[in-house]
Structure 1
Amino acid sequence: MFKKSLLVLLYSVSTYAHAGFDIVTLGSKGGIQDGNLTAFLLKDSDEQNYIALDAGTIINGLIVADQQQAFKDLNVPPHSPYTKIGYLLREKIKGYFISHAHLDHLAGMIIASPDDSHKNIYGLASVNDTITETYFNWKAWPNFGNRGQGYQLGKYNYTDLSSQDWLPIKNTNLQVKALPLSHAGVESSAFIIKNNQKQIVAYLGDTGADRIEKSDLLNSLWSTLTPYIKNKQLKGIMIETSFSNDVAERSLYGHLTPKLLLEELTQLENKVGDKGALTGLPIVITHIKYSLLKQSDPQTMIQQQLNADNNIGVIFHFPAQGDHFQL
C-alpha cells in the first residue's frame, strides 16, 4: 500500500504532474545503518543513463533495488560479461555527485571502486580535495583518482563544480551547478540538476539551518530556486531531516529537524510569493538517522511532526531503500 501511494503523493497536484526525472533509492538513511546509507540514482525520464547523488551505499543498494523491480525495464545485452548489478555499476551509472566527504555519503563508492568503470566524481573543489587527501591516498585506500598522493590509477576523474555556470554531465542529457551549504563547519553542497526540457530538481547534502549555522547559504539556495518555482520548472527538492524535534538544537551538528525544515521552507515560500506559493511541491526527505534506542522510530516521528505542522502545502515523501519514484 505504501509503495502504491508514492506516485499518488508526487502527482496529486497538476502543476507537478509531468515527470521529468526517474529516481531510485539506493540508500535512504544517514549515520550508522551500513548497507543503507544515503545514495540516489537519478536520470532524465527520456534516457537510460543514471547519475548517483551521493554514494553512501552502492552495491547493496543496487541489489535491493533490483530485487524490488526498480530496474525491471533494463535488459543486459547478451554480449555483456556482467551480471545485472555489474552492468548497472559499470555501464549505467555515469558519474558520482558527492555532496561532502563524510563516510555515510561516499563509502559505497570507495568500496566499489576496484570493480568500477572509468567515470567522473563531481563536487565542489573542497569536497574533491578531501576525497583525495583522506581516502584515495594509498593509506585509507588506493588512489583511484587522477590527482592526489602517490601513483594515480586514474579510474575516477575529479570535476570541480561551481554555482556560476551550468556544466553538461558527461554521457547524459543533464546539466548541473552546485552551491555550498553549511554542515557544522564542513562545506556541504546542493546540486541543481537540469534536463533538456529545462526542468530541474534540487538535491541537498547534509545541511544545518541558516539560523543555527549562522549562515546565509540556504537563503542563497532559495533565492537561486525561486525563479524556477515561479516558472513551474522545479520538479522537487530532496533534503535531509536527520532528527526529530526532540533533539536539542545544540546537538544537531549541522542537521535539520522538522521544525527547522519548515522554517526554511517558509523562507522559500516568502521569496516565491504569497501564502500557498509552494502548494503541491514534492519534498523528498532523506538522511533520517537510524536509532538503536528501544521504542524509538525516528522516521515515524519525523513524518508525524512534518505533516502536523505543514501549513505550506508541500507534499512530503519518505523513500525507502529500493524505491523507484518520479519527480
Structure 2
Amino acid sequence: MKSSWLLTGLLALGLAASSPAMAKAFDVTILGAHGGLDDGNLSAYLLREEGAQTGVLLDAGTVLNGVDKADQAHAFVSIAGAGTLGYARSGRIVHQVIQGYLLSHAHLDHVAGLVAISPDDPGKPLYALPSVNAVLQEDLFNHRVWPNLGDRGVKPALGLLHYHDLIPGQSMALAHTALSVEAYPLSHGGVESTAFLLHSGQDALLYLGDTGPDALEAGHRLEALWSHVAPLIRTHRLRGIIIECSYDNSRPDTQLYGHLTPRWLLAELVALRASAGVSMRGFPILVAHIKPRLSEGKSAEALIGEELRAGNDEGYAFTIARQGAVWRP
C-alpha cells in the first residue's frame, strides 16, 4: 500500500500533515476553493507533478487573485524565479507555470478567472468536452460578452486561445507537462460537466467538476466513473480525489441544482468503495466547491466538516479545500 494511504484520521479541516520522507506524486495548489459568491476565491486548482515547474489549471474561476493568495501563503517556493516581485512574479506563474486550462463546464464560477486573464495569457490550450467548448465559443468568447480570443467561432477569431476537444475515455497528453488526461461526462442539474482523470506515469488523480448524485440526476454517470477508476484503487495507483460538496445536509434535495451534500457525497463514496471491492480507509479526498453561508453561525466549511466526520464510517482522509493551500495526496 502506498505511503499516502497510511494517512489516518477521520477528517482534516486544514491540510493533512505528512512526513517529508513520504513519496508524493502530485502538488495541488488551491487558487480558488469556493463554489460561488466569493468572486476572488472560485474553483481553480493548479496541478503539477511534485517539484515540476509546469502544470495545468483544473477549472479557472479565479486565476490572478488566486495566484497572489497562494504566493502569499508560500505555495510557490519551489518555482524558479523567486526573485521577482508583485505582478511580475504572478505573471510568471500565469504565463510559464500554468500551461493550459482543463474546464469542467462553462458556468462562470469555473471560467471567470480565465476570461479576465485571457487578453494577457495568449497561446494557452483550453481542454474540455466538445459541449463545454461549444458554450465557450458561442456564448462567451463571441465578441458580445467578450472578444473572441479563441481559434474558432464568431469571426474574427483572434486565435489567442486554442480549443482542444476531449473525447470521453480517450487519453490526451497535456502540452508542456508530463501529464495526460481522460475526460468523463458528469450530470450537473441538466448541464454536462466533466471529471478529469489525470495521469503521471503510473499514478493518477481524479478531479470532478460540479455533479449531482446519480439518484437525483436520473442517470448513471457517477456509477460509470467509479467503474473506470476502481482498478486504479485496487492497485493503489489513484492517489486522491477532488470532489465537490456544495451544501450542508440541511439543504433540501429539491434545491441542490446538481450538487452534493455530505450525505450524498458519502453515499457516492460507498458506491465507489463497493465498485473497487477494497477498503478505502485513509484514502485522500479533497472536499471542494463549498458555497459560503452569508448568515450568522458556523461557516459552511465547519458545518460540512462536522457532517462528513459524523458519517465517515469508512475512514476516508477528508481535507477541506482552502485558498492558498497546497494539497499533496
State the TM-score bracket (shorter-chain normalisation): over 0.9
- Give the alignment partner of residue 213 of structure 1, picking from 210, 214, 217: 217
Q: How does 1:124-203 map to 2 (within 5 A)?
A: 124-196=129-201, 198-203=202-207
Cα RMSD over matched residues?
Answer: 2.1
Q: Deviations 1:243-293 (Å, cap 9, x if unpaired)?
A: 00000001000000000000000001111115xx11111010000001212
Aligned equivalent of 1:270: 274
Kindly provide the CA deviation profile for residues 41-71 of structure 1, in whole angstroms up to 9, marking residues without a partner as x: 0001152101000000000000111111101
Larger RCO: 1 or 2 (CA < 8 Å, sep 6+)? 2
What is the one-letter code of the residue matched to 1:265?
L
Instruction: Determine whether 1:66 maps to 2:75.
Output: no
- 1:163 deviates by 2.4
CA contact (8 A) 1:226 1:272 kept: yes
Choose which of 28, 40, 44 in structure 2 pairs with 1:39: 44
Letter in 2 for 1:169: L
Note closer, same or farther for the CA distance 1:130–1:35 as it changes in structure 2 (3 Å cut). Answer: same
Give the counterpart of 2:95 among 90, 97, 115. 90
CA separation in 1, counterparts of 2:75 and 2:52? 15
Contact map agreement 2:45 2:59 (CA 8 A) in 1: yes
Residue 119 of structure 1 contacts residue 155 of structure 1 at CA under 8 Å; is this kept in 2? yes
Q: 2:31–2:41: 8 Å Cα contact kept in structure 1? A: yes
Q: State the number of aligned residues.
A: 318
- Determine if contact 1:226/1:268 at 8 Å carries over to the other structure: yes
Structure 1: where are the runs of 5+ without partners? none
The CA distance in 1 between the partners of 2:315 and 2:246, in whole Å, is: 21
Cross-structure match for 2:313: 311
Report the equivalent of 2:115: 110
Task: Give the TM-score taking structure 1 as reference length.
Answer: 0.93
Query: Equivalents in 1 of 2:13, 2:252: separation in Å?
Result: 35
Q: 1:283 to 1:78 in 2, by over 3 A?
A: closer
Per the alignment, residue 252 of structure 2 pairs with 248
TM-score scaled by length of structure 2? 0.92
Instruction: Verify the 8 A CA contact 1:192 1:203 in the aligned structure 2.
Output: yes
Q: In percent, how many aligned pairs have the same letter?
A: 40
Q: Residue 216 of structure 2 aligns to a residue in which SS?
A: helix
